[in-house]
């Protein structure tokens, strides 16, 4: 069924419950509209300032926590998540809180706290009913699979993603197919993985999932690098970065730059690889994106070694080790 959104200005002073529904339903297709509706709902709810407005405040913070998490503004996402928890109880709003626990899981693993990430996800899964809260269930499973992968348990991660794929449809399935492709990239299963990445892109177009597009293009480009098709890889990275920049998605920008640097390294354009890794490392530092700061440090260590600058290579290895040592599992 085709579902169209009114222009945000048309409902800027409307019912906050309606605004929140519009904000949440448009989260995959239009970040700008989704955030505009959520902010309008929050503004209206705060202005009214009655007990009946607590739930609208909480749901507005949920959408904003979700959007800022995807965009890589982790501090803002954490603040919105905590505000959401203030207004929405687990007893009366389990699905919303399930999404929040998934968001918190991403925030924690992005900053090397795999222990807290795992706890958040399990809390959410204990809270929700998969039959009644399907979207939250899928959200939690994809986050759980990522935590398992970063803990080194690829087999369990794959099984968790299979559970998500069995029940996901539409825009959610586009996200899950992307996660499966990313998992296969980590396992060097290129031929199967590229099929899932292409399926994800097809589903993104069919179901208007713009959020996932740059992440899928990042993974697709990485597969093309592995296959030695540098032209297709560069096209994927360029298209993905274009979407990420337009949508102000710094997390996607960071990850695509890392993959593009690997492409330039494979081409033996060491200066370009160095410059891209430096640029990406600065973005990840500004975001406190510890997970990828380690990866940039490792990449720079390899580039500097090939450039013959062993001192800088050792320094980069030491930085990577500090990030690795700080990881809590």
Is the confidence at residue 2, as pLDDT, over 50?
Answer: no
**Cα–Cα dist 112/135, whole Å:** 26
pLDDT tens string 148-172: 999 999 999 999 999 999 999 999 9
264 CB-near residues (< 8 Å, 6+ apart): 270, 272, 273, 276
Give me the CATH code for the 249-329 domain, please.
1.25.40.10
Task: Write down the pLDDT at residue 12.
Answer: 53
Mean pLDDT value across the chain? 94
* Cβ contact 252:244 at 8 Å: yes
* pLDDT of amino acid 316: 95
Name the percent of the chain lying above pLDDT 90. 89
Highest mean pLDDT: which range of 14-18, 182-186, 214-218, 284-288? 214-218
Q: 3-state DSSP call for residue 311?
A: helix
Task: Give the dihedral sign, CA 243/254/148/109.
Answer: negative
Q: Three-class SS of residue 328?
A: strand
Residue 182: name the closest of 135, 148, 207, 209 by CA: 148
Question: CA angle 208-209-215, nearest 5°?
Answer: 145
**Contact at 8 Å (CB) between 221 and 238?**
no
- The pLDDT value given to residue 188: 87
Answer yes or no: are the C-beta atoms of 284 and 292 closer than 8 Å.
yes
Residue 291 gets the label, from left (phi > 0), alpha (psi -120 to 50) or beta, of alpha
DSSP one-letter code for 226: H
pLDDT tens-digit series, residues 30-54 = 999 999 999 999 999 999 878 889 9
Q: At what angle do helices 213-226 and 190-206 cross, to 10 degrees?
A: 150
Across residues 192-221, what is the average pLDDT?
98
Q: Which tokens is 149 given?
A: 């992968």
With 80 as the cut, is the pLDDT of residue 8 above it? no
Rounded to whole angstroms, the maximal C-alpha distance in the chain is 66
| Other CB atoms within 10 Å distance of the CB of residue 263 | 21
pLDDT of the residue at 7? 46
Measured distance CA(179)–CA(113) in Å, rounded: 20
Q: What pLDDT digit, counting tens, does each position of 102-142 carry?
A: 999 999 999 999 999 999 999 999 999 999 999 999 999 99
Question: N- to C-terminal Cα distance for the chain?
Answer: 43
Provide the pLDDT for residue 261.
98
Which of the 8 DSSP states describes residue 4? Answer: -
pLDDT at 49 (0 to 100): 75
Outline where the chain has alpha helix (H).
Answer: 16-25, 31-48, 54-71, 74-87, 94-110, 114-127, 134-150, 154-167, 170-186, 190-206, 213-226, 230-246, 250-266, 270-287, 290-307, 310-326
Confidence of residue 326 (pLDDT cuts 50, 70, 90): confident
Are 65 and 37 in contact by the 8 Å Cβ rule? The answer is no
State yes or no: pLDDT of 28 exceeds 70.
yes
Q: Look at residue 4 in the predicted model and tell me its pLDDT.
A: 37
As beta bridge partners, residue 108 has none
Predicted pLDDT at 324: 83
Region 12-24: mean pLDDT is 89
In percent, the amount of the chain with pLDDT more than 70 equals: 96
Token pair 């410059």 in the structure block, residue: 275
Q: For residues 179-183, give the mean pLDDT.
A: 97
Residues 6+ apart with CB under 8 A from 140: 98, 101, 102, 105, 121, 124, 125, 128
pLDDT at 293: 92
Mean pLDDT lowest for which of 13-17, 80-84, 161-165, 194-198? 13-17
CB 128 within 8 A of CB 94: yes
Provide the pLDDT for residue 325: 83
């Amino acid at each position: 069924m085709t579902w169209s959104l009114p222009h945000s200005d048309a409902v800027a002073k409307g019912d906050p419950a309606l605004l929140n529904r519009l904000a949440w339903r448009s989260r995959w297709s239009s970040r700008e509209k989704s955030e505009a509706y959520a902010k309008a709902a929050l503004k209206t709810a705060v202005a009214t300032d009655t007990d009946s407005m607590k739930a609208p405040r909480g749901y507005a913070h949920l959408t904003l926590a979700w959007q800022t998490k995807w965009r890589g503004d982790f501090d803002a996402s954490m603040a919105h998540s905590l505000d959401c928890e203030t207004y929405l109880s687990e007893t009366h709003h389990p699905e919303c809180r399930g999404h929040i626990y998934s968001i918190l899981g991403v925030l924690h693993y992005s900053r090397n706290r795999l222990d807290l990430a795992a706890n958040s996800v399990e809390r959410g899964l204990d809270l929700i009913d998969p039959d009644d809260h399907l979207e939250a269930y899928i959200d939690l499973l994809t986050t759980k699979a990522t935590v398992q992968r970063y803990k080194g348990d690829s087999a369990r991660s794959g099984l968790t993603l299979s559970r998500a794929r069995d029940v996901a449809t539409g825009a959610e399935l586009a996200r899950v197919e992307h996660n499966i492709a990313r998992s296969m990239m980590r396992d060097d299963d290129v031929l199967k993985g590229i099929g899932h990445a292409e399926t994800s892109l097809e589903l993104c177009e069919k179901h208007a999932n713009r959020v996932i597009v740059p992440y899928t293009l990042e993974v697709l480009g990485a597969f093309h690098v592995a296959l030695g098709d540098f032209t297709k890889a560069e096209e994927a990275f360029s298209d993905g970065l274009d979407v990420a920049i337009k949508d102000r998605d710094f997390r996607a920008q960071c990850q695509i730059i890392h993959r593009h640097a690997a492409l330039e390294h494979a081409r033996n354009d060491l200066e370009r690889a160095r410059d891209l890794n430096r640029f990406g490392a600065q973005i990840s530092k500004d975001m406190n994106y510890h997970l990828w700061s380690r990866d940039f440090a490792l990449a720079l260590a390899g580039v500097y070694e090939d450039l013959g600058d062993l001192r800088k290579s050792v320094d980069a290895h030491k930085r990577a080790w500090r990030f690795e040592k700080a990881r809590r599992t």
